[in-house]
Amino acid sequence: MREGKTEYTFKSYKKLFENLYPQLCVFAYKYLNDLELSKDLVQEVFLKVWEDKITFQSENHETGFFYKAVKNKCLNYLKSKRYKATERYELTDLEDYDTEEFHISEAVVVETTAVIENAINTLPEKAAKVIRLSIEDYTNNEIANELSISVNTVKDHKKVAYRKLRNLLSFLTIR
């Protein structure tokens, strides 16, 4: 039950940071509308988790924890006197921000964007372009037109991409 609950080392924590930090900053931005502030608050969360030697049962638990922590940190900030003094949001706006649906959908948007981006970045340039357009709902014909290549070449690029991204795509068949 508690397997995998090992404490972080500098090395493992760095890896976690690189995997999560960019998305968490973007997630925080949705609340704070200020990227530098978002970075600061996210770093404070990382600092706190380190200092308190928090451990997690699984990667999903860990990811969820960080998102929730950043969310709470942002909401606390928005409720703080310092922030209210600037009167950028009315309190009613804050209520809209503090719903489960808002938090999770934003987290999923950010996280999915990052997953896709990381995946695409492993692809050859042409294949990457094809996949980007495909995600934007372009048909094979439209992609062919856009990139001035043949439809068959589009299909070939897709095949290359799927082979390369097998690990990610197999996620669908595991479950």
Partner 1 sequence: MGNFDKIRPISKKIAASLIKGEGAVDMENPEIFDEEAKGQLLTDIKKGARLDLLNQIDAEQDWKALERHLKPARKASKFWVYGAAASMVILIALGIVLSKMDEEQELEFNTPRIINNNIEVGTDKATLTLDDGSEVTLEKGQVYKSKTSSSNGEEIVYQSTTDTPVSHDQIVFNTLTIPRGGQFYMVLSDGTRVWLNSETQLKYPVAFVKGQIREVELIYGEAYFDVSPSTDHNGARFKVANASQNVEVLGTEFNIKAYKGEANVYTTLVEGKVNVQVGDESKVLVPNEQLNLNLDTQNLTVNLVDIYNETSWKEGVFSFEGMSLKDIMKVLSRWYDMNVTIENSIDAEERFIGTFKKNSSIEDILIAIHSTNFINSYEVNDKSLTIK
Compute the chain's Rg from CA coordinates.
20
Q: Of 4, 34, 48, 122, which one interacts with partner 1 (CB under 8 A)?
A: 48
Look up residue 151 and give its amino acid: V
Residues in Cβ contact with 63 at an 8 Å cutoff, skipping those fewer than 6 apart: 20, 111
Site for partner 1 in 7-36 (CB under 8 A): 7-8, 10, 13-14, 17-18, 21-23, 25-26, 29, 35
Eight-class DSSP state of 154? H
Site for partner 1 in 62-121 (CB under 8 A): 63-65, 67-69, 72-73, 75-77, 79-82, 84, 91, 100-101, 103-105, 107-117, 119
How many residues of this chain interact with partner 1, rule: CB under 8 A? Answer: 82
60 touches partner 1 by CB under 8 A: yes
163 touches partner 1 by CB under 8 A: no
Site for partner 1 in 113-142 (CB under 8 A): 113-117, 119, 131-132, 134-137
Residues in Cβ contact with 97 at an 8 Å cutoff, skipping those fewer than 6 apart: 31, 75, 78
For the chain, helix, strand, coil in percent to 5 are 80, 0, 20
